[in-house]
């Protein structure tokens, strides 16, 4: 494993590779993502701790999705059980590291939401904890939209810390804190490529969202816009998840023998 510095235009390469990877095994990836959403939704219903448990599982699930990408590139079958690959395939030490990363991620997200309280007095925090409802009155009588923007800004360093740390802990035998450090350094060194990468996906999501909404309105089916947008959102989000694997390969010079000649340039 080596940390590589890439030019900004590489963000476009990652973007293309994510789409290519999704198209290679679209049904399997969509099944994985839908299964993940359903399971996390059920877990969220657990009293008291349901609000934080899904966050704690994110690093482990990230490893599972990366494993699905790796196996797809290598031409191997992908089953839904691969989502828990990080907790079952690399031994108890890795499972413990992912659990630690999950706890740290929960703490980091708590700090992000606490930071957003500066903007709205804690309304967003209460909504996320389930102690307040998100209705038109709440939006109109608070600065919750400003709090969302603040949370997005505060989340950027969190994303950098956890972008690669789960897979580094699972696949490269790196302890959690050290993995977070390597992840932060790699994201910072390649910030130009990540900005291009993020802008491209934001553009795709915006164009699809506004385009489908406008089309539904033009056809007089505005009430059904959500039914059209939901599958489109699932597809785009799954593509984004697939592109995470491309960023990992690009930033750490991973040239898997089984996969090096198969992934699209």
Instruction: Please report whether residue 257 resides in a domain.
Output: no
Number of Cβ atoms within 10 Å of the Cβ of 77 = 9
147 contact partners, CB below 8 Å, separation of at least 6: 116, 117, 119, 120, 123, 124
Instruction: Please report whether residue 38 resides in a domain.
Output: yes
Instruction: Please report whether residue 202 resides in a domain.
Output: yes
Q: How many domains does the chain have?
A: 1
Q: For position 139, what pLDDT does the model report?
A: 60
Tens-of-pLDDT digits for all 265 residues of the chain? 678 899 999 999 999 999 999 999 999 999 999 999 998 888 878 877 777 888 999 999 999 999 999 999 999 999 989 999 999 889 999 999 999 999 999 999 989 988 888 877 777 767 676 655 666 665 666 677 788 888 899 999 999 999 999 999 999 999 999 999 999 999 999 999 999 999 999 999 999 888 877 777 776 665 666 677 888 899 999 999 999 999 999 999 876 544 433 444 4
Helices (H), 25-164: 26-43, 53-73, 85-88, 92-120, 123-129, 136-140, 144-162
Instruction: Please report whether residue 258 resides in a domain.
Output: no
Q: For position 257, what pLDDT does the model report?
A: 42
Structure pTM?
Answer: 0.86
Instruction: Please report whether residue 259 resides in a domain.
Output: no
Instruction: Please report whether residue 98 resides in a domain.
Output: yes
Please report the sign of the dihedral spanned by the C-alpha atoms of residue 241, residue 147, residue 183, residue 101: negative
Q: For position 176, what pLDDT does the model report?
A: 96
Number of Cβ atoms within 10 Å of the Cβ of 142 = 19
Tokens of 26: 């679209």
Q: For position 258, what pLDDT does the model report?
A: 41
Q: For position 53, what pLDDT does the model report?
A: 87
Instruction: Please report whether residue 262 resides in a domain.
Output: no
**Domain that includes residue 116, residue range:** 10-252
Instruction: Please report whether residue 3 resides in a domain.
Output: no
């Amino acid at each position: 494993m080596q940390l590589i510095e890439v030019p900004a235009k590489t963000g476009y390469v990652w973007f293309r590779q994510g789409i290519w990877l999704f198209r290679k095994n679209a049904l399997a990836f969509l099944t994985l993502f839908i299964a993940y959403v359903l399971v996390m939704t059920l877990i969220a219903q657990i009293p008291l701790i349901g609000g934080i448990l899904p966050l704690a599982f994110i690093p482990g699930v990230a490893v599972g999705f990366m494993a699905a990408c790796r196996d797809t590139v290598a031409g191997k079958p992908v089953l839904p059980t691969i989502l828990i690959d990080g907790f079952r395939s690399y031994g108890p030490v890795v499972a413990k590291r992912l659990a630690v990363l999950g706890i740290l991620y929960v703490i980091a997200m708590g700090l992000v939401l606490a930071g957003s309280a500066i903007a709205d007095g804690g309304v967003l925090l209460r909504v996320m904890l389930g102690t307040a409802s998100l209705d038109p009155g709440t939006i109109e009588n608070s600065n919750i939209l400003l709090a969302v923007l603040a949370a997005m800004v505060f989340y950027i360093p969190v994303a950098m810390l956890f972008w690669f740390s789960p897979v580094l802990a699972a696949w490269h035998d790196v302890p959690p804190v050290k993995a977070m450090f390597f992840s932060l350094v790699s994201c910072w060194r390649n910030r130009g490529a990540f900005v291009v990468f993020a802008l491209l996906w934001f553009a795709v999501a915006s164009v699809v969202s506004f385009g489908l909404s406008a089309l539904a309105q033009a056809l007089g089916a505005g009430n059904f816009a959500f039914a059209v947008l939901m599958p489109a959102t699932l597809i785009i989000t799954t593509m984004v998840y697939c592109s995470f694997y491309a960023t990992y390969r690009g930033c750490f010079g991973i040239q898997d023998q089984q996969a090096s000649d198969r992934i699209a340039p």
